[in-house]
Structure 1
Amino acid sequence: MCPQRCNCDSSRTMQCYRVLAIPTNIPATIEKLYVSHSKMRHLQFSGFSEMQGLEELVLFSSGIETIENNMFKAMNNLKMLEIWNNRLTTIPRSLPSTLEVLKLGDNSIPSLNHQDFVGLTKLKVLEVQNNLLNTLSFEIFSPLGNLQTLILDGNGMHTITGVARLPNLKYLNMENNKLMFFYENFFAHFPSLQYLRLAGNQFVKVPPRLPKSLLSLRLERNLIKSVSIRDLKQLENLFDLNLSGNQLFSADGLQVVTNLTSLDLSKNQLSAIPQKLPSKLQRLDYSNNQVSRVTEKDMRDLTNLKHLFLDNNGMIVFEDKSLQWCVRLSNLAMEQNLLTSIPLGLPFTLTRLDLKGNKIDHVGVHDVKHLNQLQVLNLRNNKLTSIGDKVLESLPRLRHLYLDGNPWNCTCSLLTVRRLLLEKGTDIKEGECAEPPYCRGERWMSSNSMLRQCETSYTFDKGKESKKKLKVPEVSNGKPYIDDDEDYDYDTEY
């Protein structure tokens, strides 16, 4: 029989909610026990005395403050122990040597000691994030020779000392602490480290002598001002580097990271794109910097680039054909700049083009005629007053068109554009008419005033404005319902 306030999905798995203690009549066959949102200040051995076959124990958000000594010692089959989002101030004593996963995040543990991990030679995953660890000596991890994942983020740590050789460690997360430096040979003891997360600390430079095994390095939201060849020359296997949200004014050492495919330099103080970037780059985020000008020379070597973000740079000049060598580019975002026209010679491989928030006042066929693959075009919040139907005919695969926030002059020529958009089934956010006065404030895809004014001189098939074509769920006062969602996710997987 399944205990009260518990669900028994099978004879081996049990989930209990809002209990005051571990149920005493749990079947001996149970291998996985999950207890959550309960009130159990103290855990006692008596609650687990009959569960010798337990392999996974999860105690989530249950108010646990203390645990009886040696409570888990007799559980010779326990492989995974999670006691997270509770009120623990110490790590449970005498944990079974069979443990492979230990998760103690979101508690109130102020320190870790060597005896906490003695005998845990099979442990592969250790998580102690969001606790109260101000200082930490890595010597306490010496018994954990098989450790692969170590997560220590969100503790407020300001000092790391000591040495522990962890030959199998692959993932190390110490984000959102107060770390300023590591001693020079700290990372020499992690020869297999592949993923290092150090975002949200106080580093003023890239930590020294990082292991060549690294594949991904996250250093966003620190205080780094420059990146040199010396910092990165050994990272020959690195493919992902994030330096967003630092104080970079120079990034000239990146060319040595030859296998880099993703680079995030957004939210810094860079005034130009480095002319020597790794040629294998597929994703480059240079948004929120101070790049006023982009030239063909800046982008010449980036033949593998697929995603380029240049938003919020105060960019005035984007030279024509600057991207002519970017023959694989599919996503280009240049919103919130000072461009007055769509740059000429954009790659025909583009599927998304975001120019929101510029000063573009005209779009001609010559601007877009080669963009046969374009599916998303965002021209919100520019200076457009009109757009020709020939422009849309030049974009055979267009599926999403964003034109709102422009001062539209709703003359009869827009009826042709309206009809074409309906025929193509394009998802359109068209914006409101600014002129002429008789239809000011109306959305031009549904303006009855514009239709009445033009119908004497323009033949228009009203049948094409059916509710189905307009995708209108309901009509009120002659105006269709319009989705006012202002957001569209332009970032894509790569």
Structure 2
Amino acid sequence: MAMTTVAGTILLLSTWSVLLLCSALPFQQRGFWDFGKDIDVKDLMMTMMKDQEEGSAFEEVPQPEHPTCPFGCVCQLRVVQCSDLGLTHVPYDIPPDTLLLDLQCNRITEIREGDFKGLTNLYALVLRNNQISRVHPQSFHTLKHLQKLYMSHNLLTSIPRNLPASLVELRIHDNHIRMVSAGTFSSMGKMHVIEMGRNPIENSGFEPGAFTGLKLNYLRISEAKLTGVPKDLPESLHELHLDQNEIQAIELEDLSQYKHLQRLGLGFNHIRHIEHGALSYLPNLRELHLDNNHLSTVPFGLPDMKYLQVVYLHSNNITFVGVDDFCPTGFGMKRVFYNGISLFSNPIHYWEVQPATFRCVSERMAVQFGNHKK
């Protein structure tokens, strides 16, 4: 029994290590330059195995007398791998006790009503890198334990209807989605992560109430067509990434309801102006990414942010850094020191910046200057 458990653990971890190459997971920064890196997928796999051991998310499924496996797939220890087989539809003979179903990198164009019939224990479904443009409204009806759904790199024009209420993570980036309708996520109180970047969605594409019912921790809408911070996003957000859009300004009320936010990504936009007081609504912010914009000054309000540690301001048009732009004037106001401030690729004469400007920085190497190159 012990040998079977160890073998199962090794196989499952190996399977998810392969998926890591195609399916990025929520970001966790471990260093100053780690903004684009992914977490170790083994953590996710351990969570799944723990749920299975404790019986908190899985049911016992009777074992068939003659175990089946779709032709060409590899089936072992409740993991079914059917990637890169040129499949045009979901196989019909998937074992009913499957926990992880990998169908990525095929030619599937449609998800039909009965494609996942009987897979009541399915925990993770990987459909990325197909040609899916249609999803039947009842196709996910029986997946009452599904927590991870990866549908990125397809041809979807809308978010599928009637997604499982059990979903914790949805990755649907790199499709053709232009609209998020009201009530899309209304029954998904367990959802924590949504990745929907690289869709041609504009601000008008979010209907009022589009995110009603969600208590998200992480939301990424990067590489879209946003011209401003979307309205009425979940107030519970800890991470919001809006990089590589067309945002030109941050108005006073844009961030007023996100008091739990710890990471805010606004890099690679067209931001010229951040209204005074706009950042005061973010008392718990740890990281602020404003690189590759058109700012001419350091944003107002940074000294009042007690927990701010990382500020990316490189590749802007900042010409001057004041002695109080980053650090408070009083004692005991800032709870943590900065461990990363990037100011390179700005037209700043670093030798003109007063040394006291960085009095609340943890160490000298935490400040990144550089010669401005036209």
- The two structures have a TM-score, normalised by structure 1, of 0.57
Matched, 1:361 2:315: no
Deviation per CA, 1:95-148, whole angstroms, max 9, x where unpaired? x97979x8xxxxxxxxx46x989xx8x9511011122112235x332xx22111
Deviation per CA, 1:50-101, whole angstroms, max 9, x where unpaired? xxxxx99x9xxxxxxxxxxxxxxxxxxxxxxxxxxxxxxxxxxxxx97979x
Please tell me whether the aligned partners of residues 266 and 291 of structure 2 are also in contact (alpha carbons under 8 angstroms): yes
For 2:341, the equivalent position in structure 1 comes to 377
Please tell me whether the aligned partners of residues 184 and 210 of structure 2 are also in contact (alpha carbons under 8 angstroms): no
For 1:308, the equivalent position in structure 2 comes to 264
Q: Relative to total residues, which structure has the larger strand share, 1 or 2?
A: 1
* C-alpha distance in structure 1 between counterparts of 2:288 and 2:113, whole Å: 46
Matched, 1:185 2:118: no
My pick for the range that moved more, 233-242 or 392-401, is 392-401
For 1:79, the equivalent position in structure 2 comes to none
3-state SS of the aligned residue for 1:150?
A: strand
* C-alpha distance in structure 1 between counterparts of 2:199 and 2:231, whole Å: 20
Matched, 1:152 2:108: no
Deviation per CA, 1:144-181, whole angstroms, max 9, x where unpaired? 22111101000122133351121101100000000001
Query: Which residues of 2 match residues 21-170 of structure 1 at below 5 A?
Result: 112=70, 124-137=78-91, 139-141=92-94, 144-161=95-112, 163=114, 164-170=117-123
Matched, 1:256 2:212: yes
Please tell me whether the aligned partners of residues 303 and 325 of structure 1 are also in contact (alpha carbons under 8 angstroms): yes
Cα offset, 1:257, TM superposition? 4.1
Cα offset, 1:390, TM superposition? 1.8
* C-alpha distance in structure 2 between counterparts of 1:405 and 1:99, whole Å: 66
For 1:405, the equivalent position in structure 2 comes to 371
* C-alpha distance in structure 2 between counterparts of 1:98 and 1:398, whole Å: 66
Counterpart pick for 1:327 among 278, 283, 288? 283
Unmatched 5+ stretches in structure 1: 1-11, 13-30, 33-54, 59-95, 103-111, 408-433, 435-494
Counterpart pick for 1:348 among 306, 326, 344? 306
For 1:388, the equivalent position in structure 2 comes to 354
* C-alpha distance in structure 2 between counterparts of 1:396 and 1:285, whole Å: 26
The structure with higher relative contact order (CA 8 Å, sep 6+) is 2
* C-alpha distance in structure 2 between counterparts of 1:354 and 1:340, whole Å: 14
For 1:292, the equivalent position in structure 2 comes to 248
Change (3 A) 1:399 1:348: farther
Please tell me whether the aligned partners of residues 275 and 299 of structure 1 are also in contact (alpha carbons under 8 angstroms): no
Runs of 4+ in 1 over 4 A off after TM superposition: 96-100, 396-399
* C-alpha distance in structure 2 between counterparts of 1:233 and 1:201, whole Å: 24
Cα offset, 1:366, TM superposition? 2.0
Q: Percent identity, aligned pairs only? A: 22
For 2:42, the equivalent position in structure 1 comes to none
For 1:171, the equivalent position in structure 2 comes to 124
Please tell me whether the aligned partners of residues 290 and 313 of structure 2 are also in contact (alpha carbons under 8 angstroms): yes
Please tell me whether the aligned partners of residues 272 and 294 of structure 2 are also in contact (alpha carbons under 8 angstroms): yes
3-state SS of the aligned residue for 1:391?
A: helix
Please tell me whether the aligned partners of residues 373 and 397 of structure 1 are also in contact (alpha carbons under 8 angstroms): no
Please tell me whether the aligned partners of residues 173 and 196 of structure 1 are also in contact (alpha carbons under 8 angstroms): yes
* C-alpha distance in structure 2 between counterparts of 1:203 and 1:339, whole Å: 36
For 2:53, the equivalent position in structure 1 comes to none
Cα offset, 1:379, TM superposition? 0.5
For 2:196, the equivalent position in structure 1 comes to 243
Cα offset, 1:295, TM superposition? 2.0
Deviation per CA, 1:419-453, whole angstroms, max 9, x where unpaired? xxxxxxxxxxxxxxx9xxxxxxxxxxxxxxxxxxx
Change (3 A) 1:298 1:185: same
Cα offset, 1:225, TM superposition? 0.6
3-state SS of the aligned residue for 1:284?
A: strand
Please tell me whether the aligned partners of residues 129 and 153 of structure 1 are also in contact (alpha carbons under 8 angstroms): yes
Please tell me whether the aligned partners of residues 241 and 262 of structure 1 are also in contact (alpha carbons under 8 angstroms): yes
3-state SS of the aligned residue for 1:196?
A: strand
* C-alpha distance in structure 2 between counterparts of 1:197 and 1:339, whole Å: 36
For 1:277, the equivalent position in structure 2 comes to 233
For 1:203, the equivalent position in structure 2 comes to 156
Cα offset, 1:389, TM superposition? 1.2
Over aligned residue pairs, what C-alpha RMSD do you find?
3.1
3-state SS of the aligned residue for 2:225?
A: coil
3-state SS of the aligned residue for 2:184?
A: helix
* C-alpha distance in structure 2 between counterparts of 1:237 and 1:194, whole Å: 9
Counterpart residue type for residue 96 of structure 2: G
